[in-house]
Structure formats: structure tokens, C-alpha cells
Structure 1
Amino acid sequence: MTGRQEPYYVDYDTDFGLSGLTEAFALSPAPENADAALGLVTAKLDAYDRERPVGSVDHLGADERSILGYDTSHDEWGYADDLREDVRGLVESPLTDEAIRTVWRAAAGGVWDPAAHGMSARDWLRRIDETCAARPPRKVPGRRPAPSPLWDARPPAADEVRDDVVAEIRFCRERSAGSLPSPDTLSALEEVAVVHPELGFRLFLRALKAYSVRIDKEWYDRFQALADRFEHHSALVDSGLDIAWPPIDPARRDATWDFGLSHLAGQAHHDWYGSREEIRRAVEGDGIGQTPGSAAAVLLEDTLRLLRSALPDAAVTALWAGASDGPGSTDGRDWLRLIADVCRERLGEAAPGYTPVVTPARTELADTVLREVRETAPVVVDKAISPHWHPVPAADVMDALEHVVTRIDPDLGFRLFLRVLSALSVRLTQEQYDRYEAIGERFGYGEYHVSYVDYLIEAD
């Protein structure tokens, strides 16, 4: 990590610290005086504490909080503590006061200029720090190790990420199209990034959002890569950023995990009823870096392939049961029509100009996928999906899979096959798994698509 002894910010799913505060200023009417400006600081702190009340998990031990999904390192602290870390990082830095003021004004959208109210930038930051310090301690004082200032001792990893953040700021300076921060603003942001890359990155993003700078997909991807290195939530980049998304293309394989109908099957569980609302939540789940509506477009394509095929309704029901481990009930093509209807509804909102298409199936891997299906079929011949609930013979599922692979789409068939392996707990050899990964690579699947079945590999 850079500039922090621990990744304290992994628990935030939006912007935080000083950059999160500048967002609050950018979205508010200009304060009339310093007291009103500090009132915005207090409102930001109060809003966070309402979402995550002090003491809400005080009665739990660290292990219990971890099991329940609470970040035990961050949970000792509140927004005020993290804001103070950012503030002190700038106040105690070798940056000029004018550089700090310039960056603050840019990130806050010009809403509040401390100099116009008789304060230097450091005076303003100290007032923020005092406001934070006046709040009751959130947890146990002294739990977090003190950070090492980057300008005193910078580890090699910090050098590398610092250079990458600075490179993005300089790239912005070289652009000539659209609204951009001034050269002086970009120079000040670069100075912040040199001494504090992580905070500099967040403030740079805030300035881009405040100036409504149009970001193309390639630049956006680089931002997300940097966010990942800082362990930021992807929404920190996305929220408020003006992204020039490419057109939806269901043939593009840019999802990191599963997608389409097989992904929807993976969302199902035994108290999942396949309602319109449940399907809607699934189709709204576009992956990081995907054009809004992509999840719905890919799912719609899978669904239309099956709807337009000669696959019998009973086989559709068996196929869904096998891939989803049998939650809810389906009724052949009526089930597919409901999915398609929800997908079109989502696309009408996210991408109203998009015309649904079904791209030609990639048949070059049909024989390869078929061999894997047929190799597994004898192993599961006596098994059933959900044997203690509404049992569906595994043989029926495998027959439906073979139909999909040979007559509809080997890609869809292989993705559903992986789901069936998981539902039936089919033990795999390392050799089998390696073959599956190779098939996934040839289909262009994401890094973690096939790996969700690696738990089925038999130990040596």
C-alpha cells in the first residue's frame, strides 16, 4: 500500500476522506461563511455515522465482526478519523499553501475558496481537523499505526504507483479536447500526487468530475487498474465520472466472471423464486468497465437463442434446474419469455438506442465441448438435481446440454455445463480442470470465470 500502514479504505463503496468531502461541497450551494462551510463538514460526518452508527457492532468480537462481513480494521475508526488522516497528510507536507488551495478549489468545483474568507488553505484544513477532533472517539484510540510520510521514506512500490498517478495527470494536460482543469490546477495535482499518490489520485478524479471531463474507455480502464492497486471500490471511479462508453456488443467477452444465462443460474438459490424483481436485480449487475446494459444484452442473447431453438420445453426446464440446482419453478419457454421481457425493460432504460441482436454462434469448439459433456454423462447417470426436493434426473440435464452444444451454441452450452458440474458436485481431475480453463480461454472468458469450479478438483 502507499502512504498507509493498512488498507483502511477498502470498506468504503464510494469516495471518502478529503476527496469525499470535496464531493459534498461540489454538490452543495456555496457556503456564505466559514461557519456554514464547517457545517457542511459536520453534515458529511453525520451522514456517514447514520449509515454506520457508532457502537453498532461494539458488542461483537473481532472474529464475529469478520464473520458477519465487517472490516475489523476499519471498524475501529470512522469517517472523521480517515478525513483527519488526509488533512494531516497535506498540512504536514512540503506542498505550498497555494498548491493545496488550488487542488481544494478544483476538487470542490470552485464552491468554496478559503482565501476569499480570510483563511489560508492550511488554516482551512486545520479547521476541518478541529471539527473532526471535536467528535466523540469512535472506537479504541491508538489502534491504527501511524503512517510513514511518503516524503521521508518511500518504498519502491510507492515509487511505481506514484509515477503512474503522475503519468495520468500529465496525460490529461496533453489532451486538447473538451473541458479540462487549468495547467496550474494539473500542476498542483501533480505536486500532491508526488507526496501522496493515493490522495492525489482521488483528488484528481474529483477534479475530472467537477470539470465534467469526458473519459474514453481506455483511460477509464487505466483508472480502474489504479483503483484496484489502491484497493478502492470500483464505484469510487465510476460515480460522477463522464464516461464515453462504447456501444453494447454482446459478442464482446469483457466480463471477469460468469455472464448471461449461466450467470443468472448462479444467482439462484433455494429461496429464490425467479420473480421479475429478482431477475431485474440480476440484469442490472453490469461488471466493472462494462457499458451500462451489457449484462441485460448478453442475457437476452442467451435467452433468445434458446427461445428460437427446437429445444423442447421440458428440456428447457431440466436445463435450468441443472444449472441453478433447482430453485423456484420454471415452465419452459414462458420462463425464458419472462427473462427476455425484463432484459428488454432494462435495455430500454440503460441503452434506449440499442437493437437486440443474436450474433452467429461460435461453432468451432462444438466438438471439444461435446467431448467434455459426454465424458461426464456416465459419471452422473444415477444422480438427480435437488433429489430431496423436486428431483430432476441428471441424464435429462446432460441430454439438454448436448442439444445446446450441438444445435444452438457451444459457448452457452459450456457455460451451463460448468454450472451443472457444481450443482451435481462432480469431482474433477486436475487434467479435466486444465482442459476447462483452456476452453474458457479460447472462448475469451474472464480471469475468474472457470475458477468457481476449482473446488471440485480431487486432492492428490
Structure 2
Amino acid sequence: MGRRRPAFGVLYEGDFGLSELAARIFDAQAPDAGRALALAAEVAGLAEGEGAVELGDDVRRLLDSALPDDVLRTAWLAATLHRFDPSEHGMTLREWLSSLADRWPGPKAVAEEGPCEAVPALIRTSSLPEPSALARVTEEADAGLGFRLFLRAIKVHSGPVGKEQYDRLTALGKQFGYPGPLVHDGLDVRWPALDTGRRDALGDVGFSHLTAWFAGSWHHDTKPERALRQAAAADHEGQTPGSQAAFLLQDTIRLLDSALPTSTLTMLWLSATARGYNIDQLGMDGRDWLQRIAWMCREVLRDLAPAYTPPRPRAVTESADPVLRELRAVASRMADRTVSPHWEPIPGDEAAAVLEQVVTRVDPDLGFRLLLRMLDVLSVPITEDEYARYQRLAAHFGHHEHLVTEALWQRVEDSDAGERNS
């Protein structure tokens, strides 16, 4: 049994249905039956009334199952930490669920698509007390509902979650189409220590990631300091808190410690952001701005990872040759284009020359990430072979394949279209 609904993330920012009701009852400490019903009405009102559909659906699935009342009660009490037990108010769990179903009748059940077999196996191997009741909900009522009640039980019992288990929970949540906060909000995750040598981001990181934040017209309604803090704190799902700030600080220190002239640092920022934030028009040069970035990274790290002491970046031993080959292969196409053509334009060949200095004099990894960024900024078409080589280079540097996909998938399509039209 199960549901075929649009991605829940479209409707909800976090939890919903009976598991959201369990969360609110837990927060209410020890509500009476009237208060529990009022909380259910709040859940039903979520998403402009769509919450009533999910709540009624969850309730109906439990009522339509053959699960005995003691199993339902055990699963419910595990998810609420015994905050509200209908038996203490003269009702069985089924009788209480029936009272909810009278107010919010669920839709007819349809075939479910989801990881039905993986969920009960995960629950039964957990350290929760009496996990079998929750596992049976996933098997005999609904896998998604059982998974959500299992997450509630982990959270209310304050059970520590290791990184490997966190990744499994996140992957299951994605398969169900749940919004990320439904899984990770409230989990006590035991994160591994911050380490910029561990590349576990799902996309771009560091200075190249920051330049994308400052591209376009963001600055018309956002203060630069706020955007800088947001970017530095924008850890990818599954990263140790503070990871983005640590990566950004490492890149920034490398640039500041390099022999690149201040004018080159300024040009690097302006070209990679497509003049989204014109530091040269604000009386700042590239070195001034990098120092501000480093200061903000340290502020974010004090908030997110106060025990972390940023080490000096290790000496770069990676060969620049593979990145240089790719840069020089597209340099002529970059030269045919212009950064910010309508406002203080920057010739593409000048942007390519700055990138070559980053690759050879700062860090090939940073240079590669900025190459991907500049190909996107300049809308440079690339071939499928080039795209495949970039994926291999990303893997060589330890990055996720999404690093290339996010920046360049449209460029490959444009290239193919150009070949068809020629």
C-alpha cells in the first residue's frame, strides 16, 4: 500500500501528516485529548489544506491495516516519547485514529513507489527500544509513514546518528520525495571532524562556489556581508557543519599567499562573478575583498565549528598539466566571448589568462573549479568528449560528479545544437 503524489517537497518545507502531528504532540509535552485534536487541526491546515489529505491518508492506512492495537500503540508512543497515550483518555489507539479519520477522511489507496524493503531492515537494526512495531508499520501499513515515524522516534529519543546512517536516511528520504528538513532537522548527527581533504560536497565548494553566489543582480536587495555569510555557511547535505567555510578559507588563503598581483586578484573576482559585485566600483581591490572573505569565514567557523582550528593550507603538489591542457583547449572559444559585455566588459582572453595564473601559481584544483565557472559565465559550448574529461578531472581531484553537471550540462546541449545547425 502507499501513495503516488507529487514530490512532497513541493508542498511542505518539513514534516507532514501523522508524523508531523507526533512532533507537535511531543513539543506540547503532555497535551490532553482536546489539545491533541487542536494540534491535528493545525497539521490538517498545512499547505493551504493539503495537510488534511496527508493526515487523513496516514490515519486511513493504519486503520486499514491488520496491525493489532498494541503494535499501533507501541509505534505511536515510540514516535511521541509517550507524550500522548489515548489509553489514558479512555480510548484505544484505533479509536483515537478513527476520531481523526471522521474529521479528515483519507483518499483511496493507490500503488506506492518507494524503498519498501530497505526501511524495515534499517529500523530493525537500530538501537531504538522495541523497534519491531515501527518496522511492522512499514511492512503492513505504509513504508513512507513507517519511515517518518521512525525518524520521529530517533529524534525524540535523542539517539546519536553516525555519518553513514545519516547518509542512508537521507538517501531514503530522497527516494520517497521528502523535503530534506523532514529527515535532517532534529537529528543528533555525530559528524566527522572538519577536514578539507575530505571531498564530500555534492557540488562546488570554496572560492569558485562563492563567485556563483555573487553573480547576477543579487546585490540589488541583499547586503554583501549577508550574502557572504550565507555562502560561507551553505554546507552541502551530508557535510560536517562548517565545511564550506573551511574550504572557502583555504582557497582564500591560497590566493592571498600567492604571488598573484592585486590587479589579477581583482580581475579574477570580476570575471568569475560576471561583474555581479563590482568591487572596483566600491573602492576595493581583490586583496581587500579576499581579506574580508577570510574574516567572514572565521566568523562562520566560530559559530558552526568552534573547536576547529584552520590549519595553513598544505603545499600544492598536484601537477597543473591536466588542467592547463583543458584550459588551453577552450581558450580560443573563451577569447571569442566577453564577460559583462554591456557594462565595463572583460575580454574572454583576459579571463583565460587570469585562470592560467591560478592554475600554475596557486592551485590546479581551484583553477579547475574556476575554469568550470568561467565556461558557464561565458556560455562557452563544449563537446561531449570535453565534458567526459572534466568529469574525470573532477574525480581525480576528489569531487562529486555534480560539480561538472551543475556548471556545464547546458553547455554540452548548446554545443550539440551548434553542430546540428552547422
Q: Classify the secondary structure of the residue corresponding to 1:5.
A: coil
The equivalent residue for 1:26 is 26
Q: Classify the secondary structure of the residue corresponding to 1:200.
A: helix
Contact 1:13/1:236 (8 A) holds in 2: yes
The equivalent residue for 1:413 is 367
The equivalent residue for 2:294 is 340
Contact 1:405/1:414 (8 A) holds in 2: yes
The equivalent residue for 2:110 is 148
Contact 2:43/2:55 (8 A) holds in 1: no
RMSD of the TM alignment (CA)? Answer: 1.9
Q: Classify the secondary structure of the residue corresponding to 2:76.
A: helix
The equivalent residue for 1:182 is 129
TM-score normalized by the length of structure 2: 0.91
The equivalent residue for 1:321 is 270
Alpha-carbon distance between aligned partners in 1 of 2:74 and 2:333, rounded to the nearest angstrom: 68
Q: In structure 2, which of residues 136, 144, 151 is the aligned counterpart of residue 205 of structure 1?
A: 151
Residues 190, 391 of structure 1: alpha-carbon distance in 2 compared, 3 angstrom cutoff: same
The equivalent residue for 1:129 is 101
Alpha-carbon distance between aligned partners in 2 of 1:269 and 1:408, rounded to the nearest angstrom: 23
The equivalent residue for 2:411 is 456
Alpha-carbon distance between aligned partners in 1 of 2:320 and 2:109, rounded to the nearest angstrom: 56
2:190 corresponds to 1:244: yes
TM-score normalized by the length of structure 1: 0.84
2:252 corresponds to 1:307: no
Aligned AA (1:237): V
- CA positional deviation for 1:372: 1.4
- CA positional deviation for 1:361: 5.1
Alpha-carbon distance between aligned partners in 1 of 2:20 and 2:242, rounded to the nearest angstrom: 27
Contact 1:370/1:405 (8 A) holds in 2: yes
- CA positional deviation for 1:393: 2.6
Q: Which sections of structure 1, spanning at least 5 residues, go unmatched?
A: 55-76, 134-143, 151-156, 176-180
Matches within 5 A, 1:372-411: 372-381=326-335, 383-411=337-365
Q: Classify the secondary structure of the residue corresponding to 1:37.
A: helix
Q: Percent identity?
A: 43
Q: Classify the secondary structure of the residue corresponding to 1:449.
A: helix
Q: Classify the secondary structure of the residue corresponding to 2:189.
A: strand
The equivalent residue for 2:180 is 234
Aligned AA (2:4): Q
Aligned AA (2:13): D
Q: Which has the higher helix share?
A: 2
Alpha-carbon distance between aligned partners in 2 of 1:272 and 1:310, rounded to the nearest angstrom: 31
Q: Which sections of structure 2, spanning at least 5 residues, go unmatched?
A: 280-284
Q: Classify the secondary structure of the residue corresponding to 2:161.
A: strand
Alpha-carbon distance between aligned partners in 1 of 2:34 and 2:144, rounded to the nearest angstrom: 29
Contact 1:259/1:295 (8 A) holds in 2: yes
Contact 2:268/2:351 (8 A) holds in 1: yes
The equivalent residue for 2:282 is none
Alpha-carbon distance between aligned partners in 2 of 1:256 and 1:250, rounded to the nearest angstrom: 14
- CA positional deviation for 1:362: 4.9
Alpha-carbon distance between aligned partners in 2 of 1:421 and 1:8, rounded to the nearest angstrom: 32
- CA positional deviation for 1:434: 1.6
Matches within 5 A, 1:356-371: 356-360=310-314, 362-371=316-325
- CA positional deviation for 1:282: 1.3
The equivalent residue for 2:204 is 258
The equivalent residue for 2:92 is 120
Contact 2:203/2:401 (8 A) holds in 1: yes
Q: Paired residues, what number?
A: 404
- CA positional deviation for 1:149: 7.1
Q: Classify the secondary structure of the residue corresponding to 1:243.
A: strand
Q: In structure 2, which of residues 45, 52, 61 is the aligned counterpart of residue 80 of structure 1?
A: 52
2:248 corresponds to 1:276: no
